[in-house]
Amino acid sequence: MRRIRLIIDEGPAEYNMALDEAMLILRGAGLISDTLRLYVFNPPAVTIGYFQSVSKSVDLNFIKENNIVVVRRPTGGGAVYHDTSGEITYAIIVSAELAPEDLVESFKFLAGGVVEAARILGAPAEFRPLNDIVIGGRKFSGQAQLRRLGAVLQHGTFMYDTNLDVLAKSLIVPNIKLKEKSISSIRERVTTISEYLGRKVSKREAIEALIKGFEKALNAELIESELSEPELALAKSLEWKYRSKDWTYMRP
Amino acid sequence: MTYFRTAKVIKEKGGKYVSIEVEVNGECVVKNARITGDFFAYPPEAVDNIEKYLAGKKVTPSLIEDMQTLVNNVVLAGVSRDRFQNLLTSALEEVMKACRKSATK
């Protein structure tokens, strides 16, 4: 059975994005082993995809009024709302040899733990290409991926009890997308595990389900560990980028 | 100084959203080229390079031809390379036509 390092973590958006990038670089250089990091954004944040226009993806007035920060990710994909007490993000950093070369297949393979975790909690989740995981056709998890130096970083969400009203007010979806999906607002398209089950899922339950889910999906034993000095040092040196307006407003 | 600006968007069924905005001055020199959306591209910087390549250059048929090579360097997901290429080309052709029309007035 494969052994994968497990990190359980919590921190601000700038730290989380810097650490994900640092771990990708260090995995590519062979300085860390395959790792799954489960983390919470504290304070709440919106992350936007590498190519997104910040003003066209996020209601900047609403998030400012509600003390929600916005940070651009190093990965593509769409805007995501991460609340502290309703969402867990996973980042899996592995050698490219572990993931299928085909992008959709690799999204599905590396997100398998999210599908399994939802099923453990009682929600019939399924992967929907390109990068979504849905329950009854409604999205509760999105994935994004970056490959560098022979390593893969995939991160994604696990909305176990996200405040979907805040999510819907924070994010802007282009009309062309709403039209294609025949919906009038983003709220109709998303759900949480708690909403589906009709009971409140706790953070602890969600983390335990994710650990079991990833062990099953990756046929691996997860070994809980601490972050190393090189990871923390490199993340610290990358944090300036994720804190800078030049980066977040790179595509205004 | 006269400016022309165009914005083209696509969202294929089951695919991702792509928007291409091009802004030129009265001399048909690109002031701003912006490619945005929720698509994936590898390496991401290859898309930044397209924007940087266009900035400050006059829009000509030869510049439009150069896009083929630049787009060929990108692996895209959520939008096909052909659709991406066509969107970029049509945005540039539109501003080039607008420039020509203005020059003949």
pLDDT band at residue B1 under the 50/70/90 scheme: low
Given a cut of 90, whether residue A1 has pLDDT beyond it is no
Indicate the range of A113-117, A210-214, B5-9 predicted with least confidence.
B5-9
Out of B19, B37, B42, closest to residue A147 by CB: B42
Given a contact cutoff of 8 angstroms between Cβ atoms, the answer to whether A154 and A92 are in contact is yes
Indicate the range of A110-119, A240-249, B96-105 predicted with least confidence.
B96-105
Given a cut of 80, whether residue A179 has pLDDT beyond it is no
pLDDT value, residue A10: 98
pLDDT value, residue A133: 98
Given a contact cutoff of 8 angstroms between Cβ atoms, the answer to whether A128 and A134 are in contact is yes
pLDDT value, residue A202: 98
- pTM of the model as a whole: 0.95
**Chain B residues closer than 8 Å to A56 by CB:** 19, 36
Average of pLDDT values for B48-53? 97
pLDDT band at residue B13 under the 50/70/90 scheme: confident
Look up residue A17 and give its amino acid. M
pLDDT band at residue B100 under the 50/70/90 scheme: confident
pLDDT band at residue A186 under the 50/70/90 scheme: confident
Which residues of B, range 36-55, sit inside 8 Å of A by Cβ? 36-44, 47
Chain A's closest residue to B78, CA to CA, is: A130
**Element housing A4 (H / E):** strand A2-11
Q: Mean pLDDT score of chain A, rounded to an integer? A: 96
Given a cut of 90, whether residue A151 has pLDDT beyond it is yes
Average of pLDDT values for B60-68? 96
Token pair belonging to A51:
């190519």
Residues A155-165: b if buried by 16+ CB within 10 A, e if exposed: bbbbbbbbbbe
**Cα(A51)–Cα(A53) distance, integer angstroms:** 7
Proportion of chain A above pLDDT 90, given as a percent: 93
| ipTM, interface predicted TM-score of the complex | 0.94
Tell me the residue ranges of DSSP E strands in A51-192: 69-72, 80-82, 87-95, 125-128, 132-135, 138-148, 151-159
Residues of the domain holding A232: 2-248
Any CB–CB contact under 8 A between A104 and chain B? yes
pLDDT value, residue B101: 85
pLDDT value, residue B12: 80
Given a cut of 80, whether residue A226 has pLDDT beyond it is yes
**Element housing A41 (H / E):** strand A35-41
CA separation (Å) from A43 to A38, A63, A67, B19? 16, 12, 8, 31
pLDDT value, residue A52: 98
Given a cut of 90, whether residue A182 has pLDDT beyond it is no
Given a cut of 90, whether residue A177 has pLDDT beyond it is no
**Cα(A32)–Cα(A161) distance, integer angstroms:** 32
- The alpha carbon of residue A87 is apart from the nearest alpha carbon of chain B, in Å, by 21
For residue A143, give the CATH number of its domain: 3.30.930.10
Proportion of chain A above pLDDT 70, given as a percent: 100
pLDDT value, residue A166: 97
Given a cut of 80, whether residue B64 has pLDDT beyond it is yes
- The alpha carbon of residue B51 is apart from the nearest alpha carbon of chain A, in Å, by 11
- Name the class of domain B4-104: alpha beta
Q: C-alpha angle B32/B21/B62, rounded to 5°?
A: 70
Number of structural domains (chain A) is: 1
Contact B40 A79 (CB under 8 A): no
| Bridge-based pairing state of the strands A138-148 and A132-135 | antiparallel
User: End-to-end CA distance of chain B, in Å?
Assistant: 15
Any CB–CB contact under 8 A between A142 and chain B? no
Reading across the β-sheet that carries B17-24, which strands appear in turn?
B4-11, B17-24, B30-37
pLDDT band at residue B2 under the 50/70/90 scheme: low
Which is nearest to A148 in space by CA: B45, B84, B79? B45
pLDDT value, residue B104: 77
Every domain of chain B and the residues it spans: 4-104
